[in-house]
Structure 1
């Protein structure tokens, strides 16, 4: 399958190497991450043409994740409830008190996430860390870390689910924009082994002796809480001969459960209950008391996260509506479709979807439906990678070479995604009595949006 967006992370860095080095870091048994199976030869040939063009500064020094456009400054903080693997872990984005000197968090929180991306892409960890850190180590998320929450009425709530091989920070352009528009957004980091990497803690029973073979293992670069030992969980690929559906179906159910747990924590925070954050961040979580509009709660996700949206809507009535970005429908049981009652909005890229996947979406959005409750649009000139932040952090020329960058400007693509998402949320959470913007979008009056899908070969 083509959950490919992490491949863009290697783009400029691969120009350092000749095709022989590329052969070393991308073995021949790599999963089918490219759109076509025979593109490795073509890719090596093309990359060799650029091997003398210098380091990534030549293609990335003008790049970065754009700041949010809404009227509110954006803050973020990490929360972990229960230090074990059964606990809940998310990054919260929220409207904050503006502070120009506030610290902005790293886009990639620690080197272990580089290792996770390498595992997901089936490439060498050591070389990938060097490449990824060189390319992206200095990039920041456009939000103020642990900034004070801005008290300004009650905020609607969104729980966000990341895609396969991603983690909680990779959709900051979407999450920060929603926060700037007055939403409180919890970006869950899933612990079902579908994330590139995540971590939790276990009790410290005794001080282990460092073995020689363990001396080269990744070392945590942040301090673990007292009496706890940090433990990392990395992406789990399919085993030889293993069928994909049973694994993904089990994972999507756990993902939905994690989204519901995150929502439960937010509800408790809103009630004023003191919640212990294992991470001990500086953010005062008690300031969120009575800050949320619990009648206006949505779930949103990309790719595997899109399937998680459908599963979560089925299981949790507090989610009033859902937005699925380029959803991957394979993980879902057939019986789930008739059980989902809430409004759903599918936002698809033009280049990723295929007839079989769309056919499953059509069970939720019938072709002849005139209802505004269930809609589908396609953003012209986009690819699967147009939704996560990677699209902002790779040069246009290398993106075109790898055929992983859309024909539309990345900023335009993400602005359209955010605009459409906001219009849907305002319409179906009852936030705005003027629905002209929503009607404008679904009627195809925007030149870059296709009502429905561009995929026509549907049985």
Structure 2
């Protein structure tokens, strides 16, 4: 149930996220486009290294008509204080591509901020600048006019340069991503306290209805792929995050020093086809005798079984582009969401009925594997 929120001052001090929240039933509210505008198709083309003109037509044909299963700017439904989830997208993704996860969390009573990262790992994003500031920016971008005399500056995915070492770039990005998750939480804290929000996007949503709506003692971080690594970095940096859920996490960007500094519970939910021994061994560096660290693997899934793409393509194209695995996508995302809700209830101390799915946390389902399907030598951990 999203309202879209953005708070901009400059490229580094602003926060950009789509906010999902429990809403009142309404006949007037419209459903937002899944892909907000054509620049995101261009960004996806760049990320996939294909021609923009051709791909824009293909992407628009395949995905241009899809709407997110939620209502835009619908009135907030107050029913006690809501726990909070900050969600981090994967490499080449952006804020709207995980609506099946975020909308489900909101429908279960969470307020979810799906962050769009400005570290040049998103396929495309934008921010607003005053005209006078444009000359001082060095990043590759294009501009278009925006409301209130501001200029919309587009920033596209930054590919690894020929001969460039990948770790320094990804490590710098994961640190910025974690900071952006923390900043999003700070903005929600301001909203919760009743402070006026400077929102650069036009919206009909009444932000004052969110005053005192959030339970800021019950906050979790969640993310997919690069977003999974971002979860771990964010837990390391900010103790307000009480636990984390990492969906098919890509562990490469993280410093080894990060692992022993993370003190919160973590739940790794992996796909069957993406993981490899080196990546799993880095996850296992977080194993603890005193802090709950859980891992399950969903049978028949691929890395793209978590973003919405898996639902929006036919079987043939989906498998050709590795957007679908062998399992029914709805079964896979339901297992992931239910296991997540059970884990969040356990570690945020929620008084819900999500504990009915506790067995999933331990892989107790015919479509789940407890731990991993990947063989990892103990000596490599």
TM range (shorter): over 0.9
For residues 114-173 of structure 1, the C-alpha deviation after alignment (integer angstroms, 9 at most, x for no partner) is 000001001111111111111111100011111111111100000000000000000000
Query: How is 1:237-316 mapped onto 2 (pairs within 5 angstroms)?
Result: 237-316=159-238
Q: Write the distance in 1 (CA, Å) between the matches of 2:199 and 2:183.
A: 14
Q: Using the TM superposition, name which of 112-121 and 429-438 deviates more.
A: 429-438
SS at match of 1:455: coil
Q: 2:265 matched to 1:338?
A: no
Partner of 1:7: none
- Select which of 274, 287, 303 maps to 1:384: 303
Q: Write the distance in 2 (CA, Å) between the matches of 1:257 and 1:320.
A: 16
SS at match of 2:208: helix
Q: Write the distance in 2 (CA, Å) between the matches of 1:139 and 1:101.
A: 19
For residues 289-340 of structure 1, the C-alpha deviation after alignment (integer angstroms, 9 at most, x for no partner) is 0000011000000000000000000000100000000000000000110000
Partner of 1:329: 251
Query: How is 1:80-91 mapped onto 2 (pairs within 5 angstroms)?
Result: 80-86=6-12, 87-91=14-18
Q: What TM-score results when the alignment is normalised by the length of structure 2?
A: 0.94
- Select which of 150, 159, 174 maps to 2:77: 150
The alpha-carbon deviation at position 400 of structure 1 amounts to 2.7
Q: Write the distance in 1 (CA, Å) between the matches of 2:235 and 2:322.
A: 34
Q: Write the distance in 2 (CA, Å) between the matches of 1:135 and 1:199.
A: 24
Partner of 1:42: none
Q: Is the 8 A contact 2:276 2:374 kept in 1?
A: yes
Query: How is 1:96-175 mapped onto 2 (pairs within 5 angstroms)?
Result: 96-175=23-102
Partner of 1:53: none
The alpha-carbon deviation at position 219 of structure 1 amounts to 7.6
Query: How is 1:1-16 mapped onto 2 (pairs within 5 angstroms)?
Result: none
SS at match of 1:191: coil
Alignment CA distance shift 1:430-1:218 (3 Å) = same
Q: Write the distance in 2 (CA, Å) between the matches of 1:251 and 1:106.
A: 28
Q: Is the 8 A contact 1:365 1:376 kept in 2?
A: no
Partner of 2:293: 374
Q: 2:278 matched to 1:359?
A: no
Q: Is the 8 A contact 1:171 1:388 kept in 2?
A: yes
Larger Cα Rg: Structure 1 or Structure 2? 1
Q: Is the 8 A contact 2:342 2:361 kept in 1?
A: no
Q: Which segments of structure 1 move beyond 4 Å, counting only runs of 4 or more? A: 205-208, 217-220, 433-436
Q: Is the 8 A contact 2:83 2:110 kept in 1?
A: yes
Q: Write the distance in 2 (CA, Å) between the matches of 1:185 and 1:433.
A: 17
Q: Is the 8 A contact 2:345 2:355 kept in 1?
A: no
Q: Is the 8 A contact 2:44 2:123 kept in 1?
A: yes
Partner of 1:18: none
The alpha-carbon deviation at position 254 of structure 1 amounts to 0.2
Number of corresponding residues: 372
Q: Write the distance in 2 (CA, Å) between the matches of 1:433 and 1:271.
A: 25
Q: Write the distance in 1 (CA, Å) between the matches of 2:98 and 2:133.
A: 38
- Select which of 309, 329, 333 maps to 1:410: 329
Q: Is the 8 A contact 1:112 1:218 kept in 2?
A: no
Partner of 2:123: 196
| Higher RCO by CA contacts (8 Å cutoff, separation 6 or greater) | 1
- Select which of 338, 345, 355 maps to 1:419: 338
Q: Write the distance in 2 (CA, Å) between the matches of 1:434 and 1:84.
A: 42
The alpha-carbon deviation at position 438 of structure 1 amounts to 4.9
Partner of 1:450: 369
Alignment CA distance shift 1:403-1:263 (3 Å) = closer
Listed as ranges, the gaps of 5+ residues in structure 2 are 136-140
Query: How is 1:210-225 mapped onto 2 (pairs within 5 angstroms)?
Result: 224-225=146-147
Q: Write the distance in 2 (CA, Å) between the matches of 1:290 and 1:442.
A: 31
Q: Write the distance in 2 (CA, Å) between the matches of 1:201 and 1:436.
A: 43
Query: What's the RMSD between the two structures over aligned residues?
Result: 2.0
The alpha-carbon deviation at position 410 of structure 1 amounts to 0.6
